[in-house]
Amino acid sequence: MSNINKPNKFLPTTKEEMKQRGWDELDVVLITGDAYIDSPFMGIAVVGRILEDIGLRVGIIGQPDVNSDVDIKRMGEPKLFWGVSGGSIDSMVSNYTATKKFRNSDDYTPGGKNNKRPDRATLVYTNLIRRYFKNTVPIVLGGIEASLRRLTHYDYWTNKLRKPILFDTKADYMVYGMGEQAIIDLGNYLKEGKDPRSIRGLCYISKEPVEEYLRIPSHQECLDDKEKYIDLFKAFYDNNDPVYSKGLYQEVDGRYLIQNPPSRHMEEEEMDKIASFPYQRDAHPYNAKDGKVKCLETIKFSIMTHHGCWGECNFCAIAAHQGRTIRTRSEKNILAEAKHFTTMRDFKGIISDVGGPTANMYGYECKKKINLGTCVDNKRCVDAHRLCRTMKVDHSRNIQLLKDIRAVPGIKKAFVASGVRYDLITADKKYGKEYLKEMIDHHISGQMKVAPEHTNDEVLHHMGKPGKQTLVDFKKMYDDLNKESGKKQFLTYYLIAAHPGCEEKHMHELKQFTTHELKMNPEQAQVFTPTPGTYSAVMYYTEMDPFTKKKIFVEKDQRRKERQKEIVVAKNAFASSNKKKSSSSGMQG
């Protein structure tokens, strides 16, 4: 039974709020690198509501002052455990650009100034707890920063391999991945006084290995041999599916990082329940008094339809963190959320987004994958050449959902701002064109964003992206449907410079393609950032293709990275006059 309209308050963040609930002690204190925003889009809020649902007393501290005890002590020591998250984004990605320049703004900080999120926030917050609470209850890490750093990992900002984050932080446990079931199990185990080390989806440090688990290369082996690090990453990546994955153990300085098998995925009814918790969909007044939180402009009136993505772009960490199997909410539950928006005082009739990691993966999955788990041995649902024949792309359920949302009284517009895979639209011969027409007519305004990232086949191969002909076919379909609908809407393109395997000559090819085939001059592109938990970061560090272990070119000079970007965004005169010069310089370094 949905409780989506049930009135409630924020989880407490002060002693006064605890007293209002009649609490003199908390079971769990959650700490995050973001302001406390009570939204289904904020992991810490979801965890808090899940723990509340199983009967625990939970408080949340957003962006604590790390130079004093004022924030960390303000609700006292919890009875069961501390939960620590770096926030919705890895703190190093949040704080620095791809060329390692400090970012002045932060969309998750009140007022927008980047002055409250420390570098390596998970480590800093864990140390903050230890500083003021000696011999305290267990500290449990979670969130994307910890999840993707759970084993030996390449850290771009120090340009070296770092130990598993549990060793750096000296925390007790880590819940990895989305962690819904794992956090339920952890809360219940600790409440009952049981040892949590058998919980799926949990990592911990041990003096002994778990012999039935899979041994992966030690931290020292990875430091000594880049090919061993590739082997470790492959084991990390391949053992994220709850159907068949094994537990892992890694030796680090005489002790062992133990990664239990992944937690099971949520079923549709459970997804609905979690989405229906009484989120306040706003920043807590304690944080909001310091200014507006910019991310609320996009997430406050947005709807998350599903979790997971099987696109497997090599530069993206979603597959390793959320998983490669789509888990959907029911249409009934999604529509209840849309109707709830219309009861909120500040809702103007506009839903900012209806989607997920990839918007048009809602409503279908490979039956073989559901029963047996994701394929292994580098076999992917979609790659640069084709879509797997067993993945039956079907936009029909998504089309009907969008129509039903539009029909809700009080909804004026429901945008689809999440990423859309254009190759899935062209692959769906039955419903793809109808879906795109639905988008063009009702769910975009003026432009539609797509992410080809590049157009050179070699670079696309290293990125794990579809070939350029698919983009050409999609653009024609898009232009034809716009003409048919009497609209003048455009495509805008996400492009990446300096990805492993990309030289300046490839950026010139991209420039020529955008000019002559796409008939446009790109205004923006981003320089590639090697983030933990991605195959592309492995390529960057090792300078090898991790699937073949053959050497590839990797641009590591920051000035030349910027130059790759400038080639594609510059006016045509610049590109052509500098083509010969920069093409030769791309072979250096």
Instruction: Give the position of tokens 């279908």.
Output: 364
Cβ atoms of 450 and 468 closer than 8 Å: no
Looking at the DSSP bridge assignments, the partners of residue 496 are 526
The C-alpha atoms of residue 244 and residue 238 are separated, in whole angstroms, by 10
Give me the helices (H) in 73-193, please: 91-95, 121-132, 144-147, 165-169, 180-191
User: For the CA atoms of 353, 359, 363, 369, what is the dihedral angle to 10 degrees?
Assistant: -140
**Lookup: tokens for 490:** 């455009």
Helix (H) / strand (E) element for 474: namely: helix 468-484
- How does DSSP assign 42-87, residue by residue? SHHHHHHHHHHHTT--EEEEES--TTSSTTTTTT---SSEEEEE--
Torsional sign, CA 365, 371, 374, 380: negative
- Extended beta strands in 332-401, E state: 350-351, 353-355
Q: Residue 69 carries which side chain, given as an amino acid letter? A: D
Location of structure tokens 């984050």: 165
Contacts of residue 468, Cβ cutoff 8 Å, sequence gap at least 6 = 452, 455, 457, 460, 513, 517
Q: Which of 454, 447, 336 has its CA nearest to residue 384?
A: 454
Q: Are the CB atoms for 451 and 419 separated by under 8 Å?
A: yes
CA–CA gap between residue 92 and residue 320 (Å, rounded): 18
- 8 Å CB contact between 467 and 432: no
- Residue partners of 237: CB distance under 8 A and separation at least 6: 319, 320, 535
Closest CA to 487 of 447, 522, 432: 447
**Closest C-alpha to 173, from 165, 181, 163:** 165
Q: Which of 9, 148, 15, 22 is nearest to 85 (CA)?
A: 148
The answer for 498, left when phi > 0, alpha when psi is -120 to 50, beta otherwise, is left
Torsion angles phi and psi, residue 162, rounded to 5? -110, 155
**502 labelled ligand-binding:** no
Token pair for residue 185? Answer: 């199990």
CB 138 within 8 Å of CB 173: yes
Q: Hunting for tokens 């580098």 — which residue is that?
A: 378
Closest CA to 381 of 371, 390, 372: 390
Backbone φ/ψ region at 500: left (φ over 0), alpha (ψ -120 to 50), beta: beta
- Inter-residue contact 91 to 32 (CB < 8 Å): no
Binding residues for [4Fe-4S] cluster: 309, 313, 316
Binding residues: 309, 313, 316
